[in-house]
A and B are shown apart, each in its own frame.
Chain A
Amino acid sequence: MSLLIRNVTKRFGSLVANDNIVLELEPGALHAVLGENGAGKSTLMKLIAGTLQQDAGEIIMNGQAIPPGSPAAALTAGVGMLAQEPLVCLPFSNRENFRLGSAWDLEEATQKLRQQSQKIGFRLHPAAITRSLSVGERQQLEMVRLLARGIRLLILDEPTSGLTGQQRDQLFAALRQLATEGLMVLFVSHKLEEVNELCRTVTVMRRGKVVGETTLPKPEADLVSLMFEQAAPTQARAPIATDGSAAVELSGVDAGYGRQGIAGIDLAVARGEVIGIAGLEGSGQGALLRALSGQIALRKGRLAVSGRDLTNRRLREFRKQGVAFLPGGRLEEGLIPDLSIAEHLELANGTRFLIDWDHARTRSQASIDTFRIKGYPDTSVDALSGGNQQRVLLSLLPPKLALLVMEQPTRGLDVESAAYIWNRLLERRRDGTAIVFASSDLDEILTYSDRVLVVFDGRVIASRPASDLDAEQLGTLIGGVLAA
């Protein structure tokens, strides 16, 4: 049994997510695929597992091309994938999830579930409800199921982001053992230490292309330099004009959001300071940003804005104190799909009960010009490109802000627009606005931050002045090794 990926290409619109990918695996391979957010790793995995269909190229298992775009066909060919979010039905019992899609009856399924989990040392109760399982246990359930269906290639897409250290060790031990029995493992991650620990070979992807292949282990700095493009020399920056008083303070904050919460966060952001948050995807950035901006409740700890305690206050209070949040999911949590640019502006900034639309259009035309939005006052925001949607969101920000919190502020924007938007944002510092943002673009973080925080596993593991860091050092920090 072997896997051969031959010249596979996949496009989404004008974006080439996978560009002529070639990859080969031998039985027993423990192979990693590395790359930053958007590099095309997940797309490639979905193509192999049949949940997406390639535009060109072939995926060949043991000499047979797999019919593309069919998960069932991929499974028949011996390919199984553990998705980022385990593909199970939460209200079902474990044995029902185990049985779903197979030809087994319930007794048979129960038997097989017991046997298979015993074999690789997992403890899964057949009658337990899957919802009561931790994310790690749900993954174990999926893995056991796939193995019982007789797969020869197991794909794991970011399998460790919700796992405890112990669960992770358990998973790795099982994978190593299965590899000795001839199972091929494709391990997708951007956690360098894990890749080094588990895998023997690695493919590095960047912008949809394979940019390197090597054997493991390797020094993490080498891997980082493969993953990230060379950082442009940092521009000289004006020092912050701050009186040193805090715009926002977190003390001992715990909060949950999505799959990765935050714990024990202490953070003070000075007025006029820009803080960039770096870290592997899903290390707690989402929770930290939302806690700061009052979007989610704190489980523990206090939060103060401009010296005023706002712990678990309503969102309205945060707005009143000049806190604004720009989410990463622009059309999902930031904009209103059916409304036009002018309507958004009026909704966010208008004060009068009666709306003068002519005036609103004129004003929004001014915003459109200022922010160089490619659209008209009456253009519905869902018809705009991602970059232009972000400009609309920026144009909606109130003029006076104490704290601006942003998630991936320039994702999908070209370099020039990004620079332009940042210049506008940095102007706000003169009025003392503090900015906290998370980005997966290390250049962006190094260029625009005064201070860089590195998060890992829901905690801040490093806090450094940006001027003391270069891309390589930051990459190493992100890997989660050199905790400060």
Chain B
Amino acid sequence: MDATFASIIAAAAPLVYAAVGEAITERAGIVNLSLDGSILLSAMTGFAVAFTTGRVGLGFAAAAGVSALVALLVAWSGISLRLNQVAVGFVLTLLAAAVASYQGEGFVHQPGPSVTPRPIPVLADIPVVGRALFGQNLSVYGSLLLVAAAGWFLARSRPGLSLRAVGERPEVAHARGINVNRYRYLAALVGGALVGVGGAAFSLDQKLGWSDGHTAGFGWIALAIVIFGGWQPLRVALGCYLFGALQVVALRLQSRIPGLAQILPSIPFPLMIFALLLVNSAGLRRLLARSHRVSRWLLPEAPAALGRNFVP
């Protein structure tokens, strides 16, 4: 059981980085649709840099940088060129994937470095949760810290509050003296960098190495989990762990059910549609409309200004 928890937490770590990162970006009103390509590109970059330099940390940094650059492009085209963020994001999805495939050609199926396990003595021996929380490596610890930090940042901190206002009603934020577009650029950069860390966490920790289409549609899953998780880091992480659990369970069943391995990658997608149907359900909304607290928790609302460019 301990081992199962531990492997779920670990398996979900890349997704946690990407989904929480995107949640931060979207909370500021920027939708970075390029995730599926960004994750691929950063997974490739992370592995390639770590492989070439032999330093895993450098791989993570490079991955974050590349992905932040893609996010910057989305933000710039929306804020400065007033283009449709979805259109630019989609083009970048394909372009980043193509670049990853092209530049990563020399690294396909190469054995390379990976994140070293760093269990924390004593704490890792706590029953049930010990291994899951303290028997991991830095990449996984980072994902746990990120959830807590992002949750606190958005819910409690002053800049977090401003960032949410920027994505909710930019004209309100503007009227209160907040520089809307500066926040948006920053949120895109930070969120994009986290997506990149997620990509590197794939290729350097969870699914070692590089091959074409290495991350198998995970970007889209991350985008859907952001919606399912109501743009709140804790719930988003919960979605990632549910997904991680599904993966771990399916992986164990794989040996027993023939053919499952091939279908496995697409199981989450009907689930994604179903989850989106659920959170968008008009009936459920009406049913819960009376209690604002309950409906706020169960039926999240998108940031009202998501994808809407703001002209001060």
Q: Are any A and B Cβ atoms less than 8 Å apart in their complex?
A: yes
Contacts of A88 in B (CB 8 A): 169, 172
Decide yes or no whether B256 CB sits under 8 A from chain A: no
B81 is an interface residue with CB less than 8 A from chain A? no
Chain A residues near B212 (CB, 8 Å)? none
Which chain A residues lie closer than 8 Å to B164 at the CB level? 89, 92
Residues on B with beta carbons closer than 8 Å to the beta carbon of A75: 177
B236 CB to closest chain A CB, in angstroms?
16
* B122 close to chain A: CB less than 8 A: no
Report the interface size class on chain B.
20 to 34
Please tell me if the beta carbons of A89 and B172 are within 8 angstroms of each other in the complex: yes
A101 to B158 CA separation, bound complex (whole angstroms)? 8
A103 in contact with B158 (CB, 8 Å)? yes
In the assembled complex, which residues on chain A have CB atoms less than 8 Å from the CB atom of B161?
92, 96, 99-100
- Evaluate contact between B158 and A71: CB separation under 8 angstroms: no
How far is it, in angstroms, between the C-alpha of A484 and the C-alpha of B203 when the chains are bound? 78
- Determine whether the beta carbon of B158 is less than 8 Å from that of A105: yes
Asked if B177 contacts A72 (CB within 8 A), the reply is: yes
Query: Which residues of chain B from 280 to 312 have any CB-CB distance to chain A below 8 Å in the complex?
Result: 292-293, 296, 301, 304
Chain B residues near A72 (CB-CB < 8 A): 176-177
* Cα distance A101–B180 in the bound complex, in angstroms: 12
Q: Are A71 and B176 in contact (CB under 8 A)?
A: yes
Query: Do residues A129 and B292 form an inter-chain contact, with CB atoms below 8 A?
Result: yes
- Contact A100/B173 with A89-B165, A129-B292 known, Cβ cut-off 8 Å: yes
- Is A132 part of the contact surface with B, judged by Cβ < 8 Å? yes
- Cβ contacts under 8 Å, A106 to chain B: 156
- Say yes or no: B301 contacts A91, CB within 8 Å: yes
The docked-state distance in angstroms from the alpha carbon of A129 to that of B293 is 8
Bound Cα distance from A403 to B158, whole angstroms: 55
- In whole angstroms, what is the CA distance A96 to B158 when docked? 9
Whether A101 and B296, one on each chain, are in contact in the complex, defined by CB atoms closer than 8 angstroms, is no
Q: Does B55 contact A (CB under 8 A)?
A: no
In chain B between 172 and 204, which residues have their CB closer than 8 angstroms to a CB of chain A?
172-178
**Given the complex of chains A and B, what is the CA–CA distance between A101 and B165 in angstroms?**
10
Report the Cα distance A256→B225, complex, angstroms: 35
Complex contact A71–B177 (CB within 8 A): yes
Identify the closest chain B residue to A71 (Cβ).
B175
Q: Name the interface residues of B144-185: CB closer than 8 Å to any CB of A.
A: 156, 158, 161-162, 164-165, 168-169, 171-178
- The distance in angstroms between the C-alpha atoms of A90 and B156, with both chains bound, is 17
Whether A100 and B172, one on each chain, are in contact in the complex, defined by CB atoms closer than 8 angstroms, is yes
Total contacts A to B, CB within 8 angstroms? 56
- The size class of the interface chain A forms with chain B is 20 to 34
Closest-CB distance, A298 to chain B (whole angstroms): 18
Contact A100 B162 (CB under 8 A): yes
CB of A51 within 8 Å of the partner chain: yes
Q: Is A87 on the interface with B (CB-CB < 8 A)? A: yes
Determine the distance from Cα of A89 to Cα of B175 in the docked complex, in whole angstroms: 12
Q: How far is the CA of A71 from the CA of B156 in the complex (A)?
A: 25
Binary flags per residue of B5-24, CB closer than 8 Å to A gives 1, else 0: 00000000000000000000
A51 (CB) vs chain B CBs: closest residue: B175
Interface pair A87/B165, CB less than 8 Å apart: no
Please state if B293 and A101 are interface contacts (CB–CB under 8 Å): no
> Assuming A71-B177, A91-B301, is B171 touching A100 (CB within 8 A)?
no
CB <8 Å contact, B292 and A100: no
Closest to B179 in A: A72
B-side contacts of A99, CB under 8 Å? 158, 161
Complex contacts, B173 vs chain A, CB 8 Å: 100-101
Least Cβ–Cβ distance between B235 and chain A, in angstroms: 14
Chain B residue numbers with a CB within 8 Å of A70 are 177
Complex formed: what's the CA distance from A428 to B156 in Å?
62
Chain B residues, CB < 8 A from A91: 168, 296, 301, 304
Q: In this assembly, does A299 line the interface, its C-beta being within 8 Å of a C-beta of chain B?
A: no
Residue A131 interfacial (CB < 8 Å): yes
Q: In A61-115, which residues have CB < 8 Å from any B CB?
A: 70-72, 75, 83, 87-92, 96, 99-101, 103, 105-106
Is the pair A131, B292 in contact by a Cβ cutoff of 8 Å?
yes
Instruction: Find the B residue at minimum CB distance from A131.
Output: B292
Measured between beta carbons, the chain B residues less than 8 angstroms from A132 are 292
Alpha-carbon separation in the docked complex, A478 to B301 (Å): 40
- Which residues of B have CB within 8 Å of A51? 175
Smallest CB separation, A474 vs chain B (Å): 36
Are A100 and B293 in contact, CB atoms less than 8 angstroms apart?
A: no
Residue of A nearest to B175 (CB): A71
Encode contact with B along A394-407: 1 for CB under 8 Å, 0 otherwise. Answer: 00000000000000
Q: Select from chain B the residue with minimum beta-carbon distance to A70.
A: B177
Q: Cα distance A51–B176 when bound, in Å?
A: 10
Q: Out of B168, B175, B178, which one reaches A92, CB within 8 Å?
A: B168
Kindly list chain A residues whose C-beta atoms are within 8 Å of the C-beta of B156.
106
Q: How far is the CB of B263 from chain A (nearest CB, A)?
A: 39
Interface string of A46-71 (1 = CB under 8 A from B): 00000100000000000000000011
Q: How far is the CA of A286 from the CA of B147 in the complex (A)?
A: 47
Tell me whether A101 and B168 are in contact (CB under 8 A).
no
| Whole-angstrom distance between the Cβ of B27 and the nearest chain A Cβ | 11
Cross-chain contact A100 with B174 (CB below 8 angstroms): no
A-chain residues with CB within 8 Å of residue B172 when the two chains form the complex: 87-89, 100
- Which of B161, B171, B293 gathers most chain A CB within 10 Å? B161
Q: How far is the CA of A87 from the CA of B173 in the complex (A)?
A: 9
A92 to B154, CA, bound (A): 12
Smallest CB gap from A105: residue in B: B158
State the 7 A-B residue pairs at the shortest beta-carbon distance, nearest first.
A101-B176, A72-B177, A89-B168, A71-B175, A132-B292, A87-B172, A129-B292
Q: Report 28 cross-chain contacts, Cβ distance below 8 Å, ordered by A residue.
A: A51-B175, A71-B176, A71-B177, A72-B176, A72-B177, A75-B177, A87-B175, A88-B169, A88-B172, A89-B165, A89-B169, A89-B172, A91-B168, A92-B164, A92-B165, A92-B168, A96-B161, A99-B158, A100-B161, A100-B173, A100-B176, A100-B178, A101-B162, A101-B165, A101-B175, A101-B178, A103-B158, A129-B292
Given A91-B168, A100-B176, 14 more A-B residue pairs with CB atoms under 8 Å apart are: A71-B177, A75-B177, A87-B169, A89-B165, A89-B172, A90-B304, A91-B296, A92-B165, A99-B158, A100-B161, A100-B178, A101-B165, A103-B158, A129-B296
